[in-house]
Structure 1
Amino acid sequence: MPEGRVDSVLYVDIDGNMHAQKARVVAVAGNAIETPRLLLMSSSPLFPDGLANSSRQLGRNYMRHTTGSVYAQFPDPVRMYRGETMAGLIADESRLDVDRGFVGGYYLETISLGPAFLASFVEPGGWWPDFTRLIDGYARTAGQWIVGEDLPQESNRITLNTTVTDRLGLPVPNVHFDDHPNDVAMREHGYQQGSLLYEAVGAESTHRTTPYPSTHNMGTARMSERPEDGAVNAFGQTHDVPNLFVSDGSQFTTGAAANPTLTIVALAIRQAEYIVEQMRTGQV
């Protein structure tokens, strides 16, 4: 709308037909890759750099959690495939202790994978004979996953690809991520502690697995008190467009060590209550 509010959402159905859904309030929940992609694509003469991007912070400070895994093989079967995929965690290292060589902290979460999943991730690119040794020992294998707080960096960001498009002809997202030296130091400490833990309970051997390409997507439309520092306020309401909200993990300013789902849910509930009050008083 000319006054800088959202009045509808355009979408394409399964047959390729374009539709416009009128809306009084719009909440975007595509998470930390698709949310900035959508807002960056939604540029206009009034918002030439994309919606909610007057700060030029949209898409920046992408976080995914510092990760890695430690697997151990024991003399006897442990049958990790029984029970929950992640049945527990060790929180001892989730604390601020700079004497370890890094800031922030991490969890060690138990991880129980099926044979196919383990074969895909235990040693990417690996093959005979070390790889088969890991798979042959599946019934005697246990695993734990490092989940740590990676530092937000402006250079880690989501941008629009200028040459590659999706099936609708829209630019696909570029995802750029580099580890901060703090992330690397944290991961190495997690590998060390995970290995020591397994050795203390009788493991015959341990194996360190490289991080997954992505885990928990966070950041890219972060909260800020000042409009020039981020995309949304404390309720996920965009600074630039008062009836446009971000309702996912891209609001995060930091990642902490914990899986983000419950925090996303809590923020969404809080945001919903705020929207109801804003609508009741005619603010949106």
Structure 2
Amino acid sequence: MKTYSSALLLLLFCLACGNSSSKDSQGTATEEPTPEAVTVAEKNVAIPVDSTLDIDYLRGRFDPATHPDFTKVAPALTDGDGTYYLRKDTYTAFQAMHAAAAKEGVKLVIISATRNFDRQKSIWEAKWNGNRLLEGREKAPEAYPIPKDRALAILRWSSMPGTSRHHWGTDMDINQLTNSYFEKGEGLKVYEWLTAHAHEFGFCQPYSPKGAERPDGYNEEKWHWSYEPIARQLTDLASTALQDEQIDGFDGAATAVEIGVVEKYVLGVSQQCKE
């Protein structure tokens, strides 16, 4: 387990400023929520295993708006959407990372956070049934009439309900949803800062480039970052307790077993997020 002592002073600064006012997307003054969780960086010790993490949690079968471990993200840290939720420990760590990046002229904006099973189901089924184009150009039922092929096409960028790391409240998308944005200009500056410093706050990039180190899973996502201390516990739980047969309750679910979605996708993350 890594330690994150280098983030200590920044976290304390962030916590001290937790009640400062900000403005929402309409320009109305709001109160920045004070982080409620004590992070690993503050204690400089490993986060203990959370016994409340179970298969239902892993599969996103809960409402983050009513879950005691979750908090709403301040619109000032997002693209203006006031409906984003994260785990409290993840949110505290992100606030510290956001403050550190801002000091170096780097702006981190959350554009997607927790998505529970029902939300992921709506995304998946819209693509599965052709109501939403795949990558903006084709209807899945027409382009991929064989169910396994259709599922694999959707899985290039979207998770099956019950398998997404976005269920966990540990994962977020930052700034833009295209790799090309992070390869030049302002986006490259953001990505270089994240690859150099995100680990200091407990974050890792789960979907690194595909290759020998990560042969399976989703395509590379430079925008997707995960709070490792909790996400790794859930990855470990998935490796021992989650079965393909438990991925159910949505159109196309039968392909989960055929594909081996747990081994190839849930566990198909970068080595950095497994250490």
Q: Is the pair's TM-score, using the shorter chain for normalization, greater than 0.5?
A: no
Higher gyration radius (CA): 1
* TM-score where L is the length of structure 2: 0.24
Question: RCO (CA 8 Å, sep 6+): is it higher in 1 or 2?
Answer: 1
